[in-house]
């Protein structure tokens, strides 16, 4: 289904994400456009996207999802890791071999790849999974940059990555629309004259919350 309203390219945030970091965290409640911004940030880059869900609190499911996401790309089959994963019988016994293979094969080829972990808050409290994920990401070195979206605090130990290339954190205040962004977006949706009239009212009501603005504008659009 096409989006109800046109998306806004978050240029000021994309400039920050174009800088140097090992892990970037987009942290805010639902409706702040975290996944949309992540998709804009990886456009034109070699990227693998894993949408994290409750099932990934089981380590075998997370490894399988990673292999599947990478294999969906023409340049990301991870053949050795996939074979090892398909024949493993005891994850505790085989985990070291699987981890080493994944770190060696990902990203395939030369150059950098961005790994997107969308909704990583689903892993909060899953200590074994977080420890494994941290270990494998660190073992890959600067070839892999990790872009994380989450609600609330990021469960990854960010201090570990701070000394391994830096951490960029964008929170609610960053992800909220600025007044200029609100006006630009509203002008595209409602037309410039209407946008000038309603921007101040919406600013006071929603404090830059993109989803709230969209709901309000939907109401305006559907009003008789």
Closest CA to 19 of 144, 156, 165: 165
Say what the pLDDT of residue 90 is: 84
Confidence tier at 62 by pLDDT (50, 70, 90): very high
Higher-scoring residue by pLDDT: 178, 108: 178
What percent of the chain has pLDDT above 70?
80
Say what the pLDDT of residue 204 is: 60
Q: Is the pLDDT of residue 213 over 90?
A: no
Higher-scoring residue by pLDDT: 54, 181: 54
Say what the pLDDT of residue 156 is: 96
> What domains lie within the chain, and their CATH numbers?
20-171 (3.40.50.300), 179-222 (no CATH)
Confidence tier at 198 by pLDDT (50, 70, 90): low
Q: Is the pLDDT of residue 1 over 60?
A: no
Say what the pTM is: 0.86
Q: 3-state SS string over 124-136?
A: CCCHHHHHHHHHH
Say what the pLDDT of residue 4 is: 40
């Amino acid at each position: 289904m096409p989006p109800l309203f046109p998306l806004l390219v978050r240029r000021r945030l994309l400039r920050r994400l174009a800088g140097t970091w090992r892990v970037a965290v987009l942290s805010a409640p639902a409706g702040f456009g975290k996944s949309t911004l992540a998709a804009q940030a990886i456009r034109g880059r070699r990227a693998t996207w894993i949408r994290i869900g409750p099932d990934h609190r089981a380590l075998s499911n997370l490894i399988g999802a990673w292999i599947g996401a990478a294999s969906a790309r023409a340049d990301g089959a991870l053949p050795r890791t996939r074979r090892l994963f398909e024949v493993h019988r005891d994850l505790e016994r085989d985990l070291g071999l699987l981890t080493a293979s994944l770190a060696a094969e990902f990203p395939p080829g030369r150059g950098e790849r961005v790994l997107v972990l969308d909704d990583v808050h689903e892993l909060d409290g899953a200590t074994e999974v977080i420890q494994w994920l941290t270990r494998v990401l660190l073992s890959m070195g600067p070839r892999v940059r990790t872009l994380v979206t989450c609600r609330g605090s990021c469960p990854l130990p960010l201090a570990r990555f701070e000394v391994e290339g830096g951490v960029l954190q964008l929170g609610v205040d960053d992800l909220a629309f600025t007044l200029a962004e609100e006006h630009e977006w509203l002008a595209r949706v409602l037309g410039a004259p209407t946008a000038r009239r309603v921007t101040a009212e919406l600013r006071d009501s929603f404090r830059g919350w993109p989803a709230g603005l969209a709901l309000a504008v939907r109401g305006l659009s559907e009003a008789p």
